[in-house]
Chain A
Amino acid sequence: MSGLLKIIIQRLFLGLITLLVVSVIIFTAVNLLPGDFAQAILGQGATEEAVAAIREQLGLDQHPVQRYFQWLAGALQGDLGTPMSQALFKSFAGTNTGESDVTVLSQIGPRFANTMFLAAVTAAIAVPLSIFLGILTALYRNSAFDRAMNVFTLSSISSPEFFLAYILILFLAVLNPIFPSLSNIFEGMAFGDRLEKTMLPALTLTLVVTAHMMRMTRAAIINLLASPYIEMARLKGLSPMRVIVKHALPNALAPIINVVALNLAYLITGVVIVEVVFVYPGIGQLFVDSVKIRDIPVVQACCLIFAAAYILLNLTADILSIISNPRLRHPK
């Protein structure tokens, strides 16, 4: 087990370095974009003086390298900065310059919590469902059921997300009003209400991620069905279901865990379209808006969160794969 701990520490350290590299790339990329916050907020009719004034207020006239290290110094102390839009608003309202009680953290925090809630609800539906369907399709492989499931999940993954969302709205909100079509959740909402309002986006995302996980489960299990120990299990007179669940599945876990982790990461980082369709106040929408107005501190923070999600989920997947392998768990 000490070997496992060493791997975890090693990977966390590598993860930190990755985050640093990501922050440099994002900072450079945003700076390479034409225009900056001042131009974006003032529009085309802006005078040069007004643009320069805002730049000076926000420190945008300083050299990018200097700005990056200022940001990095703050970030290392837990201060991810102030969103430029908020800072500017405050300065116009007459309350101080540059300083503000709205920080990047306080702006992203609730949004990120919403995103995690949506991802968790989706995962709670999609992961058991796809593994269960994967087992069933492996058990009844090449049957009509297997083919129907494959066609269904492949069509849903091939359709654009907004299309799936509108189909679900049509059937589950308009024709049969079961769930609300607007997911305008807010802080302090009761859990039940929140869950109800989250159902449609969660179901849409479930349709998007199920195909990968189900097909990987099916393929990983079928791959093992030719192995001698599966033949042995059959020759012991075990039921086909037991052969698959007890003898094939435990040996197929590693690839399944990895695909699940990748899909969960997708749920945290890539759901802008679903958020827009259902007006769900998640982090994706905020991220896109911030890129549009070149609000660098917010963009940086979002990217770091996305990168961290990938790193942590992959690390978790690796650890679970190791734990699921008795050869690594119980060395000779």
Chain B
Amino acid sequence: MSQLLKIRGLKIEGRSDETWNPIINGVDLDLNKGEVLGLIGESGAGKSTIGLAAMGYTRDGVRISDGSVEFEGVDLVTASAAVKRGLLGSRIAYVAQSAAASFNPAHRIIDQHTEAPTQHNVSSKADSEADGMELYRRLRLPNPNEIGFRYPHQVSGGQLQRAMTAMAMSCRPDLIIFDEPTTALDVTTQIEVLAAIRDIVEQFDTAAIYITHDLAVVAQMADKIKVLLRGDEVEEADTRTMLSAPTEDYTKSLWAVRSFERPAKPAINVKATPIVSVQGVTAAYGKVDVLHDVSFDIHEGRTVAVVGESGSGKSTTARCITGLLPPRIGHIEFEGVQMPLDYRKRDKMQLRQAQMIYQMADTALNPRKTIGETIGRPVEFYMGLTGKEKRKRVEALLDEIELEPSQYIDRLPSELSGGQKQRIGIARALAAEPKFIICDEVTSALDQLVAEGILKLLAKLQDELGLSYMFITHDLATVRAISDEVVVMKDGVVVEQGPKLDMFQPPHHPYTDLLLSSVPEMDPDWLSNLLESRGVDNIGDAAVDKM
């Protein structure tokens, strides 16, 4: 096998406040023709930066300060812009994380597909259009002859992601950089895209760098894996060795995250009044019903995970419980007492009962308020504490979420990391001293290690304070880790509910089965086996449609 890409001593710096700080501290990388390398690490590890540098490209405010990136002997670091433009698109292509954002909204998909071949004089527009349709067919896009003539906003996220893979293939490049191509997708859609990418990379013997933070995904895609930590290489090995026998402690800790699981709790006392009871709720946005007769109970000290793909009505259910979206039919009970449907009609005591923690801690915290002010507000509003007492309570809450009060109380949200911000979100919810907290995808924007810390904190708080959680998530690993009961939703309907142990044991509802079997596992043969068991034509969309 001949060497395609050779990176030596790559150092990259980023500018902040007029000084250049190192992002990548000297990384080597080798890739042969037709080989797939997985780059993994937490956010901030420099995965995407290396991926882009492999194309000789850096984003604004970032520069390559040292080292070489040789693509077939051409050093992309020193090459002129014109030489690089000749290689980009035609020999080296890029597949971005969000296809929805990376397709130009102003042009049809096929016109963007044919742009690289025509601009690089690889083929004519007509030939490239025909080839595009052929690629769409191979990637199993519906209506391959027609879908390209739509605008990006008229096509779903999973389909766009495949169209983007086709676009990267348009010039039959030797190397494709995949930058988290499935992170934004639901598990069932992810399978299709993964299978499509793997097929096409194998068919055309394309080399690829596959960037992801999901170990199970990389296990399916890569021949070898390189682990990164804060701009340094931790270790590199072929996939099977890396999965079965990682040598470095950091890699082992990454591998271990998925093993966190709470011990099962005793069965629920059926006679006890549930903390929250959702009873026959049907709710609509405008005239369209998005929830249909949803009912479930949440008991004291338990965690109910609400699972489903995006658009299945998980967050809408939460909005009904909190009264942000009054249900059209049905009602909500807290400890056996029926609540006013509209939050504006609930009094302070009733409002206190249901607190929320949000997915994006970034946007859920007021950037101009210090941590002390953010947590102090509900302390004052609900508990009526002011002055010294309020400060004492805020400090106690910070202690509870394991952040040193004296260090953090006067900071602004921008001075915190993602995981710390999420902890502040938890403290704010605790400030109302609720019995029940809704956690809306609280870990999905976080790295696995950080997410695990948040899950452990929530578990600890539940044990200490007897809290009940409604845990909205699309990540079944999280469900396995933290939940006691599971509610599976699809298209606004509860398709299955019950104790976690039962849910993870067959027989399942076919949709639950599809969800469960779509979660990537660390076994490198998992995807192949799964596709075989489902039958090649029966993946994703097709499987969902059948039900």
Binds A, one of B14-22, B90-98, B224-232, B319-327: B90-98
Across the interface, do B116 and A237 meet the contact criterion of CB distance under 8 Å?
A: yes
> CA–CA, A178 to B50, complex, Å?
60
On chain B, the residues within 8 Å of A229 by CB distance are 101-105
On chain A, the residues within 8 Å of B93 by CB distance are 235-236
> CA–CA, A332 to B156, complex, Å?
10
> CA–CA, A192 to B506, complex, Å?
87
Across the interface, do B151 and A237 meet the contact criterion of CB distance under 8 Å?
A: no
Looking at the complex, which one of B94, B101, B104, B106 makes contact with A235 (CB distance below 8 Å)?
B94
Looking at the complex, which one of A226, A237, A326 makes contact with B84 (CB distance below 8 Å)?
A237
Quick check: is B115 within 8 A (CB to CB) of the other chain?
yes
- Kindly report which residue of chain B lies nearest to residue A251, judged by CB atoms: B106
Looking at the complex, which one of B57, B86, B101, B107 makes contact with A234 (CB distance below 8 Å)?
B57
How near does chain A come to B192, taking the closest CB pair, in angstroms?
Answer: 21
Quick check: is B492 within 8 A (CB to CB) of the other chain?
no
Quick check: is A6 within 8 A (CB to CB) of the other chain?
no
Across the interface, do A237 and B104 meet the contact criterion of CB distance under 8 Å?
A: no
Known: A236-B88, A236-B116, A237-B88. A326 touches B105 (CB 8 A): yes
Q: Mark A293-332, 1 if CB is under 8 A from B, else 0.
A: 0000000000000000000000000000000001100101
- Kindly report which residue of chain B lies nearest to residue A252, judged by CB atoms: B106
Across the interface, do B106 and A326 meet the contact criterion of CB distance under 8 Å?
A: yes
> CA–CA, A192 to B94, complex, Å?
55
Known: A226-B60, A326-B153, A327-B153. A237 touches B105 (CB 8 A): no
Quick check: is A247 within 8 A (CB to CB) of the other chain?
yes
Quick check: is A250 within 8 A (CB to CB) of the other chain?
yes
> CA–CA, A247 to B152, complex, Å?
14
Q: Mark B27-60, 1 if CB is under 8 A from A, else 0.
A: 0000000000000000000000000100101011
On chain B, the residues within 8 Å of A232 by CB distance are 94, 96, 102-104
Q: Mark B132-154, 1 if CB is under 8 A from A, else 0.
A: 00000000000000000011011
Quick check: is A238 within 8 A (CB to CB) of the other chain?
yes
Quick check: is B456 within 8 A (CB to CB) of the other chain?
no
> CA–CA, A330 to B105, complex, Å?
11
Quick check: is B183 within 8 A (CB to CB) of the other chain?
no
> CA–CA, A327 to B152, complex, Å?
9
Looking at the complex, which one of B87, B102, B106, B150 makes contact with A231 (CB distance below 8 Å)?
B102
How near does chain A come to B351, taking the closest CB pair, in angstroms?
Answer: 37
> How many residues of A sit at the interface, in one of the four size bands?
20 to 34
Q: Give residues 143-181 of A contacting B (CB, 8 Å).
A: none
Across the interface, do A330 and B94 meet the contact criterion of CB distance under 8 Å?
A: no
Q: Give residues 233-270 of A contacting B (CB, 8 Å).
A: 233-239, 242, 246-247, 250-251
- Kindly report which residue of chain B lies nearest to residue A224, judged by CB atoms: B104
Across the interface, do B151 and A327 meet the contact criterion of CB distance under 8 Å?
A: yes
Across the interface, do B106 and A250 meet the contact criterion of CB distance under 8 Å?
A: yes
Looking at the complex, which one of A234, A239, A251, A327 makes contact with B104 (CB distance below 8 Å)?
A251
- Kindly report which residue of chain B lies nearest to residue A330, judged by CB atoms: B151
Across the interface, do A332 and B154 meet the contact criterion of CB distance under 8 Å?
A: yes
On chain A, the residues within 8 Å of B151 by CB distance are 326-327, 330
Quick check: is B366 within 8 A (CB to CB) of the other chain?
no
Looking at the complex, which one of A234, A242, A326 makes contact with B119 (CB distance below 8 Å)?
A242
Q: Give residues 82-129 of B contacting A (CB, 8 Å).
A: 84-90, 93-94, 96, 98, 101-107, 115-116, 119-120
> CA–CA, A250 to B105, complex, Å?
9
How near does chain A come to B58, taking the closest CB pair, in angstroms?
Answer: 11
> CA–CA, A122 to B422, complex, Å?
57
Across the interface, do B107 and A250 meet the contact criterion of CB distance under 8 Å?
A: yes
Q: Mark A212-241, 1 if CB is under 8 A from B, else 0.
A: 000000000000001111011111111100
- Kindly report which residue of chain A lies nearest to residue B86, judged by CB atoms: A237
Across the interface, do B94 and A237 meet the contact criterion of CB distance under 8 Å?
A: no
Known: A228-B98, A229-B102, A247-B104. A235 touches B55 (CB 8 A): yes
Across the interface, do B107 and A238 meet the contact criterion of CB distance under 8 Å?
A: no
**Residues of A contacting B: mostly:** helix
How near does chain A come to B181, taking the closest CB pair, in angstroms?
Answer: 13
> CA–CA, A238 to B85, complex, Å?
6
> CA–CA, A330 to B154, complex, Å?
8
On chain B, the residues within 8 Å of A228 by CB distance are 96, 98, 101-102
Most buried by A among B96, B102, B106, B151: B106
> CA–CA, A228 to B88, complex, Å?
16
Q: Give residues 138-190 of B contacting A (CB, 8 Å).
A: 150-151, 153-154
How near does chain B come to A228, taking the closest CB pair, in angstroms?
Answer: 4
- Kindly report which residue of chain B lies nearest to residue A329, judged by CB atoms: B151
How near does chain A come to B105, taking the closest CB pair, in angstroms?
Answer: 6
Across the interface, do A239 and B85 meet the contact criterion of CB distance under 8 Å?
A: yes
> CA–CA, A251 to B151, complex, Å?
13
- Kindly report which residue of chain A lies nearest to residue B81, judged by CB atoms: A240
- Kindly report which residue of chain A lies nearest to residue B91, judged by CB atoms: A237
Across the interface, do A236 and B101 meet the contact criterion of CB distance under 8 Å?
A: no
On chain B, the residues within 8 Å of A332 by CB distance are 153-154
Looking at the complex, which one of A227, A234, A238, A250 makes contact with B115 (CB distance below 8 Å)?
A238
> CA–CA, A281 to B120, complex, Å?
55
Known: A226-B60, A332-B153. A237 touches B85 (CB 8 A): yes
> CA–CA, A125 to B102, complex, Å?
36
> CA–CA, A250 to B98, complex, Å?
21
On chain A, the residues within 8 Å of B90 by CB distance are 237
On chain B, the residues within 8 Å of A226 by CB distance are 60
> CA–CA, A76 to B405, complex, Å?
74
> CA–CA, A239 to B88, complex, Å?
11
On chain A, the residues within 8 Å of B101 by CB distance are 227-229
How near does chain B come to A282, taking the closest CB pair, in angstroms?
Answer: 39
On chain A, the residues within 8 Å of B153 by CB distance are 326-327, 330, 332
- Kindly report which residue of chain B lies nearest to residue A225, judged by CB atoms: B60
How near does chain B come to A19, taking the closest CB pair, in angstroms?
Answer: 35
Known: A228-B96, A330-B154, A332-B154. A236 touches B105 (CB 8 A): no
> CA–CA, A255 to B52, complex, Å?
32
How near does chain B come to A237, taking the closest CB pair, in angstroms?
Answer: 3
> CA–CA, A233 to B93, complex, Å?
11
> CA–CA, A99 to B153, complex, Å?
63
Known: A229-B101, A327-B153, A330-B154. A235 touches B88 (CB 8 A): yes
- Kindly report which residue of chain B lies nearest to residue A331, judged by CB atoms: B154
- Kindly report which residue of chain B lies nearest to residue A227, judged by CB atoms: B101
How near does chain B come to A159, taking the closest CB pair, in angstroms?
Answer: 35
On chain A, the residues within 8 Å of B107 by CB distance are 246, 250, 326
Across the interface, do A237 and B119 meet the contact criterion of CB distance under 8 Å?
A: yes
Known: A330-B151, A330-B154. A238 touches B89 (CB 8 A): yes
How near does chain B come to A169, taking the closest CB pair, in angstroms?
Answer: 44
On chain A, the residues within 8 Å of B98 by CB distance are 228
- Kindly report which residue of chain A lies nearest to residue B52, judged by CB atoms: A235
Known: A326-B151, A332-B153. A236 touches B89 (CB 8 A): yes
How near does chain B come to A158, taking the closest CB pair, in angstroms?
Answer: 31
> CA–CA, A330 to B119, complex, Å?
27
- Kindly report which residue of chain A lies nearest to residue B150, judged by CB atoms: A330
Across the interface, do A237 and B102 meet the contact criterion of CB distance under 8 Å?
A: no
Q: Other CB < 8 Å A-B pairs besides A231-B102, A236-B88, A327-B105, 5 of them?
A: A237-B84, A237-B90, A250-B104, A251-B105, A326-B153
What are 7 sample pairs from A and B whose C-beta atoms fall under 8 A apart? A229-B104, A235-B55, A235-B93, A236-B89, A251-B106, A330-B153, A330-B154
A residues touching B (Cβ–Cβ < 8 Å)?
Answer: 226-229, 231-239, 242, 246-247, 250-251, 326-327, 330, 332
B residues touching A (Cβ–Cβ < 8 Å)?
Answer: 52, 55, 57, 59-60, 84-90, 93-94, 96, 98, 101-107, 115-116, 119-120, 150-151, 153-154
Question: Which 5 residue pairs across A and B have the least CB separation, nearest first?
Answer: A237-B88, A236-B89, A237-B89, A250-B106, A228-B101
